[in-house]
Structure 1
């Protein structure tokens, strides 16, 4: 009897294992994985159309630099991307590309990574249609096309994108559902922009997570050596389910028009299912093409020079005139129209002397688009000369976003005056150098006082100082939102943008993303800007910034001041939800920074945490205005009850150090 039972059990185990193996094989058969370390080998696995070709050294060239051309390259086998008609499967891809423009200041139009129901795009047009769609079918839901565009000129039907150089997510249309200027995040979390048409190799990582419907895209020059930890785009794309059919083809399209570039792919890997695409070995890829972009006007200059040699007198007069104008320009810079409205301008030579020639030992900070130097400038009055400490921010040369921030800061902060705002003394424009001059703030940023200083010397910011700083930031925001002649939306409130003076008073600064509005008007901004962790939920949906989105960011900063914790981490932790959980359980004071010990006022801490939760409410209309926030913090108004909310469906667990309390 016992032997019979053993045989039955053994037989059942064998059947069970066979079922597991068959299920694994079925899943594996539906997955697609491939890698091209260059395209010299396995060329038959690609279907090339129109101008697309494989070069002798193994590069995939989608287009050359001829005008009005298109090229497509698709993997020749369809990829299964739909499970049970209800879920788009996870997939990932990585590729390295190079774009060589026709001249140093003229390139276009770009290329796409595409999911398509067919392995070619026979009716697609050139130029702005990128070899993907045409004028008649653009926007047609029957296209079933999803594309990530790498656009190097002005966006399709987008008057706001005058320069191009962006990445867009396109669903059945060339109008981007989401678009971001091309950039990467450095190790300090600063956003650094760069040009697609630089002629250098650029790597892309693209991952779609089927369960969460989230697409992440990271793009950066390969010279950086390692992949940035923060993606440029992390976006839920539920519309992908409307696009994807059971089987799709994956590949690239590119086009030129009256502007032209050569588009190359050096290597490509792709995978469906949970296993990410294979890693490309950059050293095994074929060498990038030479950047032979021609500088415009060189031949005309040579011809002009030859012609000018016919008359010695003419040459001498022209040279003399140019020399005189050049000397005059060195001594007296020409003002542009926008500069006339902001006359508080410093001389470059004074700033050069004040910073000892912008030496490295004068650097006191580095931002996303510039470096800040400490300077000592001498002013001469009728009585006697005096020396003042200043901070000089030097904008990174050739940074498009940096120029925008330079102008925005002058137009906004240049006219604001409040004890809790950084004072912009003036500005300077000298050739390609753009400089902003501020009061020197000795104690650095709030971010450094909360995190860096305690790590270096153990000195923890006291509770009284924290509460004073919180109220000062609120006072500065109240001035921006309600008390100045216009409404000012800061759009980037965070501890690193709050400087602390020698009296421990906060000064809100960095107005490079700020926007000014006439009272009674509404914000129509649709470009998502800000810093992850401090952005209100509505910003990620429609990009519309408002005073309420500033209130949300202030709420996160207030919770950060009390708890001494960053708003997010590498996992699913979000500070406001974490504090809300403790508030809902009646233990909100457990969120207070443990480094304070018992050295804090419990009532003030409880008040600050509750006000922070009110400000972080996911519903824009449920957040208080800054005037009420300041009245709450000053004890002039009773704080209403906070309804329990969460910014996500998941629950957050307490950090290990608090669990042990």
Structure 2
């Protein structure tokens, strides 16, 4: 049987792959290089002619490699043994998981092992499990943000993860983990093995080394024990496993389930391969014939025999591109924006949309599709003609003083960011004087609408959703400040820049004012920009945005969401009062929880409300040195660390807040000034905070 006989499944039919697995006859045999085995075991020594169910990017190469991903970004792939296996049997009146053993040989290739994709998972899942909703990112093509951790999934897996994700509490970016119903491992260890030849000493292995490595997974149904062992190819199985965990899989696995592999690349160039695979119930897995395994490919120049096939089309394409580039340059001389550089687009730019597609998607940018008007442009809803994907298109205003600069900053900042609490930038377009950004559409609009819109068609946000949104935006800011390759300071955190997706999860957007710098470097002094009410007091003196100025704005944001009040309140006598000062006043009076949004009618968790109000005041502390980092904030919100007691220096907050009226660019002030700027007072304040 040739490699063309491998069963391919279209990406839109991902959910069918496991269902097909359930209805196939249990007596399916494995032919060719896989040999012939009983229904409860199989072995693939190479995959040429193997009857394996594939979907997504998965394919079998002519040499017999099971290629899960081929280096394309944001890919997911699955390869599943087509015959279902019975994993549970009646024992002492209950259904108990049977013992099983599996072994496989894998290889992961990355140009840079420190910037690799998201690894491979060997999984066992019910035939009804739907893989189509899984994300091709840190969720490794197996789950998504909603299904991760759902006990109803009945998933068991062993992950070989080449990326560290704090949301899954990963120990490092090169680890092996035992997963149950999600990617938060019940047990994990850095990749490696205990060398019997060296007296049992532990030796590290790099998962993305490009070398073939063998893994053994054994479950003892009597002892309820899971063992995971690994070693370089051609080395005997070490006597001591890398991981050994007591866990009763009878509570996880269904009676009949399927076994397979899942993988994803995310935002990095990587390739995932399986060279051989064996499995057996109630006994050791059959030995893989190492001599029959195909070789892993190598990154680098192609074989000389391929050059004759590659050079002519490349040369032709290069000639066409050169002619096209010359034509474009000649035309661009007559255009208004010929001075714009194109180098940054090659380095940072995501997918570029055609203006025609965006024009048609928004019905010519008609007013009926207008979602809102911001400081730097209008936002329209659209539907792409071919894919039918809903999008939001932002057109930067022509009269914006920094329109082009802010447009480029936004593309560079978020074009490569991948986090579930950040609005995803899909692409961009430039045409004559028009600058357009294309985002994924957030069906529930901006958060401020849900906080302040009194209309009947916008329900009041309940407490659970507010708490979830606060935690989500905190996670997004932690990613920007500490977890991405550069430090990103957002500089405009507020409720109107938080969008809600179809699940009412909060996504931080609008990076038009964002600034980037390297970890460990100092941010540069710049113009003070942002929104009055969210600006940290020290900005009026230093004009230097830092992560702690973002923390200040996040503190105000927490109070805004919890209290249902805008950052600047209108008092009954017509004066203006900062929301932070109002909450501090209640703190002094011992009535802090009285500030919680009255529209909740007392239906909220008092402990959580007190916690977030306390965190809000800590984050919006007038002294930047007293504010927590976002890493600490996440520990407070997750209950991993109690927040410190509020500092008495908060008594000075109202006075220090006067600095927000000194030195700020007038065009970005969303609220009128509440007090006049006083030079003598600012001098006193400078002494207080230094």
TM-score category (smaller protein): 0.3 to 0.5
TM-score normalised over the length of structure 2: 0.45
TM-score normalised over the length of structure 1: 0.47
